[in-house]
Amino acid sequence: MGRELTFRRYAGEIDLEIPFDRTPGMPASGLSLDPLLTWLLRDSGLPNDEARVGGRAHRRLITQLLTSRSARPIPADAQRMLDDLFATEAARRATVEIDGVLAAPGDSMAVAGTEVKVWRGDITTLHVDAIVNAANADMLGCFKPFHACIDNAIHSVAGPRLREDCRRIMERQGHKEPTGTAKITRGYYLPCRFVLHTVGPIVPDRQPTADHETALVSCYEACLDLAAAAGVRSLAFCAISTGVFGYPKIAAAQVATRTVRDWLERHPHVLELVIFDVFSGDDEEAYRQAFGTRNNRATSSRPFDRDVQQIRRWIDEADRVLIGAGAGLSADAGVDYTDEADFASKFPALVRRGLRAAYQMIGNSELPPEAFWGYWLLHVHDVRFGDGRRRVYQRLFDLVGQRDPFVLTSNVDALFARNGFDAARVCSIQGDFAFLQCLTPCSNQLWPSEPLLERLLPEIDPDTQSLRDPSLAPTCPKCGGQVFFNVRGGDWFVEEPWRRQFGKLREWLTAAPNDRLLVLDIGSGFNTPGVVRWPMERAAEAITTSRFVRINRNDPHLDVNLGERALTIAARALHVLDAVGDAASRRADRPVVDASW
C-alpha cells in the first residue's frame, strides 16, 4: 500500500477551493425527468421501456440507478440534466442554519474558544462549512439503493458529482483509504461547502480493542486537521463507526468527545463551532453521558410541579386544542424504531442477517422479497392491528378529549383513533399502515391492508420469519407492479387523502378565531421537522392569542420566540401527562379563566 494522498495534492484536480454554483439551470416548471431517465437506463444497459413507470416513480428509479451506477465519468449533457434536477431539489429543500442548531442545557460546552454542541437531526440539512461522512475503504459511496447508511444519505443529497470527485481522488491515490484517515471534497448540492470522508474501525463483535480506539481517535483528529487546513470554521460530525461498523455507541461517544476536546485545547480559536450530530435517542443519550449530563434534567430552572400546574391551567382554560405528535409519542407508547432490544426480541431472524433496529428496515431494498414482506407483515400486524390500548394516549384523551381536539401526526399507527380520538379529526400526514398502494403508482387508489395480513400471516415461517413462498409477495391488482403500505417513503407516496385531511385541519384552525387555542406538541423531533414540529410552532406564532406547550425529552427547545405564551418541558410524555392529570384531581373547582388569554 502506498502512502496516503494529502489534500494539497488533489485539491486542484477536483476544484476544491472554487465555490460550487447550485443555481438551477432552468425553471422548475421546465424540468422533465424523461430524458434523464432514458439516458440512465441506456447507461445501465436496461431496456427503455422501464421509463413507462411515469410520474413520481421516475425519481425513485433515478435514485436507484444513480446509487448502483459504477464510479465512472458522466457525459456533459447528462451531467447538465442531473445538475438541473439536483439544483431544483436543493432550492426546495429546508435547511438548518447554524443559529437554528439549538442544544438543550447540558448538551453544549465551550472549549478554547470553540462552541461544541450535541444536535439530533438530519446532517444533510445542516448549513455549516463541512460535515463528516462515515465512508468505507473504497471511498466511493454506497452502491446499495436506499440503504439506511450515512454514506448513502450524503451522496444521495449531494448528487453524483460527489462520487466523481471521490473517484478522481482514489484513482490518483492508487489504493484503498486506510482506516483513521480522511479526504475532503466539495458538498455540491448539500447545504454545506465541504464533506470530509473518513473510514472508521470495524468492530465485528462490538467489543472494541485498544487498536480500535486508537483508529477511532485518528478518524476524529484527521477530520479536525483537514478541516483546519481547509479553513473550515463550523464542522458537524456524524457518529463514526457506530452503525454497521459495530462500535458501541457509548464508548464511541466518549472517544469522540474526549478527542475533540483535546484537539481544540491544542488548537484554540481555530474552529468556531463543532456539532456532534446524532440520529436516535440512544445516540443522543450516549453523547449526553459523555458530556457528563443525563436525559432527566429540566430545560430551565422552573420547578417541574410549577410547569405541570401551568399546563393544567392552560388545558382548563382552552376552548380547543391542536395536538402535534411525532415519533417520540409513539416511542413512549412502546413503538420505538430505534429500540434494539425490542427488535432483537421480535425479529431474531433479521438480527442474524445483521440488522439491529426497526429504522434499518425503512427503505431497505437489500432483503429478498420473502424476508422483506415477512418483516413488514409481522410489524404492521403488531403496531397497527394488535392491541392498540396505550396508556399515554388514553391519558392524553382524558385530559383534552372534551376540548374539541384536532391532531396532526407523523405517526402511521392510528393510535389516536384507537384510543378515543375522533378519526375525522386526526390528520396522519405521513399515511397509515391500514392501506396499501401501488409503488409506481399506476393510480391514486388505496386498498385495505388487513385482508392481506390475514391471508399471509399464516404463510410466514416462524424460524426464518419469512414468507415460505416468495411468489406470495403482494402485487398491484391493477397493473401487477410492486406495492407497499401507504406510508411516506418516497415520491411514490399517494398523499391526496391526507392532503384533504390537512385541508380540514386548516379550516378547523380558522373557523373560530376568537376561541382560546392551546397548541400541544408532543414528541416531534428533527427527523422530519417540517411535518409536525415547525407547523406547530408556526401555528402558535401566527395565532398570537394561543398558548404553546412542548413535551419532548430529547428536543424540548423552541425555534421561535413565543415569550410567556410558551412552555417546554424535557421529560417523557406519560410522566408529564400523569402529573397533569394528578394535578387536576387535586383541584376542587375549575379555575377562573385567565383574563389575559
The tens digit of pLDDT for each residue in 109-155 reads: 888 889 999 988 889 999 999 999 999 999 999 988 878 789 999 99
Q: How many CB atoms lie within 10 A of CB 583?
A: 17
Count Cα atoms within 13 angstroms, Cβ side, for 410: 24
| DSSP notation for 354-384 | T--SGGGGTT---S-HHHHHHHHHHHHHHHT
Three cell numbers written together for 4: 496516503
229 located within any domain: yes
Tell me if residue 392 falls in helix, strand or coil.
helix
| Shared domain check, 293 and 304 | no
Backbone angles phi, psi at 348, to 5 degrees: -60, -30
The reply to whether 531 falls in a domain is: yes
The C-alpha R_g of the chain, in whole angstroms, comes to 25
Q: Are strands 114-120 and 320-325 parallel, antiparallel or unpaired?
A: unpaired
- Would you call 228 exposed, middle or buried from its count of C-beta atoms within 10 A (0-12, 13-18, 19+)? middle
- The number of angstroms, rounded, from the C-alpha of 40 to the middle of its chain's C-alpha atoms is 28
| pLDDT of amino acid 295 | 37
Question: In Å, how far are 328, 393, 415, 424, 581 from 418, measured between CA atoms?
Answer: 18, 9, 5, 12, 20
Does residue 383 lie in a domain region? no
- The domain boundary residue, chosen from 448, 483, 518: 483
State how beta strands 114-120 and 108-111 pair.
antiparallel
pLDDT tens readout for residues 315-335: 999 999 999 999 889 888 888
Q: Dihedral angle at the C-alpha atoms of 300, 301, 303, 309, nearest 10 degrees? A: -50
The CATH number linked to 161 is 3.40.220.10
| pLDDT at position 364 | 74
pLDDT of residue 106: 56
pLDDT at 296: 34
Q: Is the pLDDT of residue 189 over 60?
A: yes
488 inside domain: no
Kindly report whether the peptide bond that precedes residue 191 is cis, defined as omega within 30 degrees of 0: no
Task: Please say whether the beta carbons of 63 and 146 come within 8 A.
Answer: yes
Share of the chain above pLDDT 70, in %: 91
pLDDT of residue 103: 59
Task: Indicate whether 384 belongs to any domain.
Answer: no
Q: Which of 48, 35, 44, 42 is nearest to 80 (CA)?
A: 35
Residues 216 and 275 both lie in one domain: yes
Closest by alpha carbon to 132, among 211, 84, 192, 59? 192
Whether residues 53 and 165 fall in one domain: yes
| Predicted local confidence at residue 323, as pLDDT | 98
- Judgement on whether residues 148 and 275 belong to the same structural domain of the protein: yes
The confidence score (pLDDT) of residue 480 equals: 94
Most confident of the ranges 26-30, 240-244, 259-263, 338-342: 259-263
Model pLDDT, residue 588: 42
Q: What is the pLDDT of residues 18-51, one digit of tens each?
A: 999 888 766 655 677 888 888 988 888 876 654 4
Q: Are 187 and 14 in contact (CB under 8 A)?
A: no
Sheet holding 426-428, edge to edge: 426-428, 406-409, 320-325, 517-522, 547-551, 566-569
In a domain, 385, yes or no: no
Mean pLDDT (the chain) is: 87
Please state the rounded mean pLDDT for residues 256-282: 91
Q: Check pLDDT > 50 for residue 299.
A: no
15 and 80 belong to one structural domain: yes
Distances (CA, A) of 358 to 77, 537, 559: 40, 29, 29
Same domain, 154 and 167: yes
Residues 404 and 288 in one domain: no
Whether residues 282 and 354 share a domain: the answer is no
* 164-168, 264-268, 355-359: segment of lowest average pLDDT: 355-359
Number of domains in the chain: 3
CA distance 298 to 143: 43
Asked if residue 592 has pLDDT above 50, the reply is no
For residue range 254-263, list pLDDT tens digits in order.
999 999 999 9
pTM above 0.85, yes or no: no
What is the pLDDT at residue 551? 95
Give me the sheet containing 446-448, strands edge to edge.
Answer: 446-448, 431-438, 483-487
What is residue 590's predicted lDDT score, i.e. its pLDDT? 44
pLDDT at site 300 = 39
User: What CA–CA distance (Å, rounded) separates 213 from 319?
Assistant: 57
* Count of Cβ atoms closer than 10 Å to residue 72 Cβ: 9
Q: Could you list the residue range(s) of the whole structural domain that residue 448 is in?
A: 341-378+436-483
pLDDT of residue 205: 77
17 burial type by CB count under 10 A (0-12 exposed, 13-18 middle, 19+ buried) = exposed
The three three-digit cell numbers of residue 410, written as one number: 407523523
165, 215: one domain: yes
- Are 420 and 289 within one domain? no
